[in-house]
């Protein structure tokens, strides 16, 4: 059923930017916001585009809501992350094959060990941290599954320090 729906849609339109009108986008946005109980959704074409937008939104929120001084917002990432090949994405990478030769890199990114709540809490004590971006299960460095308490602990720390997660 799902494959058939994908095939049918591929015959009409596979992918489009939000810059171009189509009669499906609004219907999809209404459906997905109701499904997850959100007020808004911002569909993206690629994962790296979603990550870039998340960074932009986090920084904007940090400046406007958390009152971080301009150009001082910090986003914390876990090492061995992978979310794409854009300049922002490689700026948060710890894989030399991904980042070597592309500097200078994006400022305001801090990298900490994955699955380390103590390191995260130390990083979040900096009042200029606006967000923590992490994959619940990492895949680029092999399948890295965190300890059972990691994700709930991340949620608690981000709430405690008023940081987006």
Confidence band of 21 (pLDDT split at 50, 70, 90): confident
The model carries a pTM of 0.86
Q: Which residues are CB-neighbours of 155 under 8 A, at least 6 positions away?
A: 165
Q: The domain spanning residue 67 has which CATH number?
A: 3.40.640.10
- Tell me how many domains the chain contains: 2
Q: Are residues 20 and 78 in the same domain?
A: no
42 in any annotated domain: no
Q: What is the pLDDT of residue 154?
A: 99
The predicted-structure confidence for 112-160, as pLDDT tens digits, reads as follows 999 999 999 999 999 999 999 999 999 887 899 999 999 999 999 999 9
Question: What pLDDT, on the 0 to 100 scale, is given for residue 123?
Answer: 99
> Edge to edge, what strands does the sheet with 109-112 contain?
109-112, 74-78, 129-133
- Same domain, residue pair 28 and 61: no
Q: How far is CA 22 from CA 16, 36, 39, 40, 81, in A?
A: 8, 23, 21, 18, 34
Q: What angle do CA 12, 37, 53 make, to 5 degrees?
A: 65
Same domain, 110 and 156: yes
Residue-number span of the structural domain to which 93 is assigned: 47-161
Rounded to an integer, what distance in angstroms lies between the CA atom of residue 78 and that of residue 92? 9
* Cα 151 to Cα 148: distance, rounded to the nearest angstrom: 7
Residues 52 and 121 occupy one common structural domain: yes
Same domain, 28 and 64: no
Average pLDDT for 43-72 = 96
pLDDT at residue 72 tops 80:
yes
């Amino acid at each position: 059923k799902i494959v058939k729906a994908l095939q049918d849609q591929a015959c009409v339109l596979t992918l489009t930017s939000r810059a171009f009108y189509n009669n499906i986008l609004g219907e999809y946005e209404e459906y997905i916001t109701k499904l997850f109980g959100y007020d808004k959704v911002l569909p993206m074409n690629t994962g790296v585009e979603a990550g870039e937008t998340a960074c932009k939104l986090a920084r904007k929120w940090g400046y406007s809501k958390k009152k971080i001084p301009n150009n001082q917002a910090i986003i914390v990432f876990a090492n061995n992350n992978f979310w794409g090949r854009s300049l922002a994405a490689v700026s948060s990478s710890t894989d030399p094959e991904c980042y070597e030769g592309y500097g200078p890199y994006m400022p305001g990114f801090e990298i900490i060990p994955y699955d380390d709540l103590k390191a995260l809490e130390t990083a979040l004590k900096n009042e200029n941290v606006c967000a923590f971006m992490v994959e619940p299960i990492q895949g680029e460095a092999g399948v890295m599954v965190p300890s059972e308490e990691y994700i709930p602990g991340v949620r608690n720390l981000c709430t405690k320090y008023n940081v987006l997660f």
